[in-house]
Structure 1
Amino acid sequence: SNYSYSSSTYRTYTHYDFNFPSQELKPKLSGNYILKVYRNYDAKDVIITRRFMVINQTFIVTGLANSATNPEFRFKKQEIDFEVNYASYNIPNPMMDVTAVVLQNQRWDNAIFDLKPRFINQKVLSYNYEQGNLFNGGNEFRYFDIRSLRFLSFNVRRKYIDENNTKNVVLYNDGMKGHQPYLQTIDYNGKRVIDNRDGNNGELEGDYCLVHFTLISDKLDKDVYIFGELTDWQMQDSFKMEYNEGLQQYEKVVLLKQAMYNYYYVTQSDNPLENVDISETEGNFFNTENDYNVLIYHKNQFMKYDELLGSLHLNSARK
């Protein structure tokens, strides 16, 4: 890996980068991998991990993302139907040895695992379910833009430098969306885009600042978290909001690097099959624009591992 030091920033930091694959290091087999970064050669002292997949595109995968077929879920959920053609591959027992995983917006926290085909017709596996392949539609993500700290960009109410010489960004107050009608907006499906429009190099000249979030709401009976790629799609304690009884609002201050950010407000789901709940804070709508990735795995009985032999990208708004 390489490292460089920040330049012209209020808060100094070290930037590391690592290019993979390379001539010296590349995967030999398809499937799921984890890149693990640990400290001082101690594999137990893990700093970060990142998933990635290597695909050997052997199967032909086709499909659609639509609103749910079942009338009970039609206005809140999205259904992912697809077929897998494995004509070029010999699979003696596809019902047992082929499985599918479906991701929404590249999230693993709400992924659908271990989908088996409903039926087989001439080496074509059908995954046309009515409930087993449903996702909550969610809502378009909230977002703010701090790629420039010289100007008041989108959703930024004010900026200031505190007594510790740290830049602060105060966002406009947010409200609850669970009972509001759907409003179509363009978002990044929960992602963040690290960038600095005040300089030439977002990696080294991008500054860190304290971002102030506020959610106007009565106090709920469970904790509220900021959530998205900025939290690694996890409900982290460092992003758990605190309730201000006097102002009747949730508040949180988080240190973030200059970027364009998408985010949700979430609570812990009461459904054991789901991780987070956004029904009250954000709402669920069938017409929300979402990305989906279908991953098809084959259990290689000879090599004793799951090889990734097919993938498909779908978008709920683009057919």
Structure 2
Amino acid sequence: MHQKITIILLLIVNTVISQNIKSVQLRPFQENNFSSIVPLGTVLELSFDDLDADSKEYQYKVEHMTHDWQSSRLSSSQYIDGFDQNTILNVTNSFNTFQNYTHYSIQIPNVNTVITKSGNYLLSVLNYDDEVVLTRRFVLYESATTVGVTVARSRNTKTLNTQQTVQFSINHPNITINNPGQEINVVVLKNKNWNEKITDLQPTFFKQNQLLYTYTNKTNFWGGNEYLNFDSKFVRNTSLNIVRVVKKDIFHHFLYPFTYNKYREYSYNPDINGQFVIRTLEANDSNTEADYAMMHFSLLADEPFTGKEVYVYGAFNDFNISDDNKMQYEAKEKSYTGNILLKQGFYNYTFATLNSDGNLNTNDINGSFYETENEYTVIVYYKPFGSFYERVIGIGTGYFNQNK
């Protein structure tokens, strides 16, 4: 497992977001559920803001994908009852905010678009010129198997204190699997982040109606560290980890600086694994009444990281990097600084480095520890001989437990 994440430019499933599209979320309606991996038939809601605030006409498009996020062989009529592309009609302007914006939302499925098959899906938003404004991935699964997942401290003596091992089993009494090497693909995700995954796994043992994946090294993930956080639920006043608020054309929030320490030790801090929640305590409707503030991040370091760029990293931009979340080193202040315009809410974030080879590392600055509480999701894809597409026949979830 290579936890350094290779950034591949122009990959179709990477999010393409203009500077004026913010606060993109694709989630089910359950409270505190951030996952877009849901049972077939579950309603997901896509929402986002356009800071141009000019009520553009956007369309959504749904496309069925393979397990490795390539376009599948199915035509839209084979996996959708209705239309795979349609106009987003739920459009509302912001109210009583310093930063004007237009809020868009669409539910999938809806009366015009009913998805009939499990699998990977790419949801795109297109502008008037049919240009892709943003994309988000989601997975619809059938509960045709039972997937058991365990997470333990690494058994490799070299990574005993820095990595975690994921092992799992697929129980399939109602599914006939003749050739697992050809018919089954599995993906192991860390914290619902598609940039941190392990694929290309074969079963280590076979039992009747059961496949076992009991690797000791091949399914190792870097533990990482708990995410940092802040809460901007009050736009005019300081709140959690916000040390100063300045009113200009919009509000500017200055976060407590983070100090880099190469000998940093693990300290438990509950988090939501990099996710964010839009909320304000100063209005009734967070969708259209939550304001935007310029968040000022700072990372104290005696000297810059040689040959590396530094980024603020989290689900607020789908775990991607861009100029929008890049930090600059200020030699006089001995710190990296970065400013990101974000809607009011509770946010998790961390710092990531990008080297000259295009490898992104989320552990350079905040460290990696076997104790870190992470969530791992195993997705099982099934394509029997003669089938034209891959079903998702089950998922399993496991959490690290320090007592194991």
- TM-score, normalising length from structure 1? 0.94
Query: What does residue 296 of structure 1 align with?
Result: 380
* 8 Å Cα contact 1:176/1:280 also seen in 2: no
Query: What does residue 203 of structure 1 align with?
Result: 287
**Which of residues 253, 269, 287 in structure 2 aligns to 1:169?**
253
**Which of residues 342, 354, 358 in structure 2 aligns to 1:268?**
354
Query: What does residue 94 of structure 1 align with?
Result: 180
Moved more, 223-232 or 146-155: 146-155
Query: What does residue 304 of structure 2 align with?
Result: 219
SS in structure 2 opposite 1:203? Answer: helix
The residue identity in structure 1 corresponding to 2:151 is A
Deviation, 1:317, is: 3.3
Alignment of 1:113-124 (within 5 A): 113-124=199-210
**Which of residues 120, 127, 135 in structure 2 aligns to 1:39?**
127
Alignment of 1:113-192 (within 5 A): 113-162=199-248, 165-192=249-276
* Counterparts in 2 of 1:29 and 1:58: CA distance versus 1, 3 Å: same
**Which of residues 134, 145, 150 in structure 2 aligns to 1:59?**
145
Deviation, 1:154, is: 0.8
SS in structure 2 opposite 1:26? Answer: strand
Offset from partner CA, 1:228-247 (integer Å, 9 cap, x none): 10121112221110110111
Deviation, 1:24, is: 2.9
SS in structure 1 opposite 2:199? Answer: strand
Deviation, 1:279, is: 3.1
* Counterparts in 2 of 1:98 and 1:262: CA distance versus 1, 3 Å: same
**Which of residues 155, 161, 172 in structure 2 aligns to 1:75?**
161
TM-align CA RMSD: 1.6
> Percentage identity across aligned positions?
32
SS in structure 1 opposite 2:120? Answer: strand
* 8 Å Cα contact 1:5/1:14 also seen in 2: yes
Q: Tell me, in whole angstroms, the C-alpha distance in 2 between the residues paired with 1:73 and 1:245.
A: 34
Q: Which blocks of at least 5 consecutive residues in structure 2 are unaligned?
A: 1-87
SS in structure 2 opposite 1:230? Answer: helix
Q: Which has the higher contact order (CA 8 A, sep 6+)?
A: 1
* 8 Å Cα contact 1:145/1:260 also seen in 2: yes
Offset from partner CA, 1:219-272 (integer Å, 9 cap, x none): 111100000101211122211101101111101111111011111111026898
**Which of residues 234, 247, 267 in structure 1 aligns to 2:333?**
247
SS in structure 2 opposite 1:204? Answer: helix
Q: Tell me, in whole angstroms, the C-alpha distance in 2 between the residues paired with 1:280 and 1:34.
A: 31
Q: Tell me, in whole angstroms, the C-alpha distance in 2 between the residues paired with 1:177 and 1:154.
A: 22
SS in structure 2 opposite 1:72? Answer: helix
Q: Tell me, in whole angstroms, the C-alpha distance in 1 between the residues paired with 2:164 and 2:383.
A: 28
How many residue pairs get aligned? The number is 313
**Which of residues 64, 71, 94 in structure 2 aligns to 1:6?**
94
Q: Tell me, in whole angstroms, the C-alpha distance in 1 between the residues paired with 2:300 and 2:184.
A: 47
**Which of residues 103, 114, 120 in structure 2 aligns to 1:26?**
114
SS in structure 2 opposite 1:276? Answer: strand
2:366 matched to 1:310?
Answer: no
Deviation, 1:56, is: 0.9
The residue identity in structure 2 corresponding to 1:81 is Q
Q: Tell me, in whole angstroms, the C-alpha distance in 2 between the residues paired with 1:102 and 1:269.
A: 25
Q: Tell me, in whole angstroms, the C-alpha distance in 2 between the residues paired with 1:13 and 1:63.
A: 43
Deviation, 1:91, is: 1.7
* Counterparts in 2 of 1:19 and 1:279: CA distance versus 1, 3 Å: closer
Deviation, 1:41, is: 5.1
Q: Tell me, in whole angstroms, the C-alpha distance in 2 between the residues paired with 1:64 and 1:128.
A: 10
Q: Tell me, in whole angstroms, the C-alpha distance in 2 between the residues paired with 1:54 and 1:115.
A: 21
* 8 Å Cα contact 1:178/1:279 also seen in 2: no
Deviation, 1:94, is: 1.5
